[in-house]
Amino acid sequence: MTSILNFIKKINQPIFSTAELSTISKKSLSNTTQSLNYLQKQGVVLKIYKGIWAEITDKPLSPYILIPFLFPLRRCYLSFISALHLYGIIEQIPQVITLASTGHTKTIVTKLGTFSLHQITPKFFHGFNWYKNEKGFLIAEPEKALADCLYLAGYKKKQFSYFPELRFPKNFSFKKAKEWVKKIPNQKIQSSAMLKLTNIIKEQIKD
């Protein structure tokens, strides 16, 4: 068990996968899993999700660090309500972490939080970059995150058509948000999204 702990320290990351530990320790997946299950009973590690673990420390773990581990073979980016919250546009902490992908919509429940992957058309799968320019996870730019919400709202996803109080920073560009909405390939959805965006802009002017 000591040797497995040494390998965990060698990985030097808040979370790690069974496969990763198996590779660097040169132990089989089953032996590695057995060792990790034992360490969990000892209160040394915690199983976050299938094949994903964390060493138990005093430092709180951000659920966002899980994103590359949960979707290693699928490109996705943080968007919708979650991205708007990270940018400070929505104050209320979302109960579910929302991501955009070209793959099928799915929900994953982990020890760090619930992740909801929403499908968008490949033609609209743009407008994202690394969060704070660090290669941890991808996030939509603020204007695209809002446009993504309006895009899904057009498909009768009610949770994306209602926003808590919105607080837009001075550098938020409604012109850019409009440009993103214009890129929605489905004309009906685009019209619906533009109408909702126009109403949001009117509310901001009123305030």
pLDDT at 24: 92
For residue 44, what are the domain limits?
A: 2-55
**Are 25 and 95 within one domain?**
no
DSSP bridge partners of 46:
54
pLDDT per 10-residue tile (average), the chain, 207 residues = 83 92 93 94 94 91 92 90 95 92 93 95 96 83 96 80 84 97 96 93 79
**Are 51 and 73 within one domain?**
no
Residue 20 has, within 13 A of its CA and on its CB side, a CA count of 16
Nearest alpha carbon to residue 142 among 122, 164, 127: 127
pLDDT at 18: 95
Q: What is the DSSP string of 159-206?
A: GGT--S-B---TT--HHHHHHHHHT-S-HHHHHHHHHHHHHHHHHHHH
**Are 22 and 67 within one domain?**
no
**Are 109 and 37 within one domain?**
no
Per the structure, how many domains does the chain have? Answer: 2
**Are 68 and 158 within one domain?**
yes
pLDDT at 163: 77
**Are 11 and 79 within one domain?**
no
pLDDT at 207: 61
Residue with tokens 């895009």: 151
* pTM tops 0.85: yes
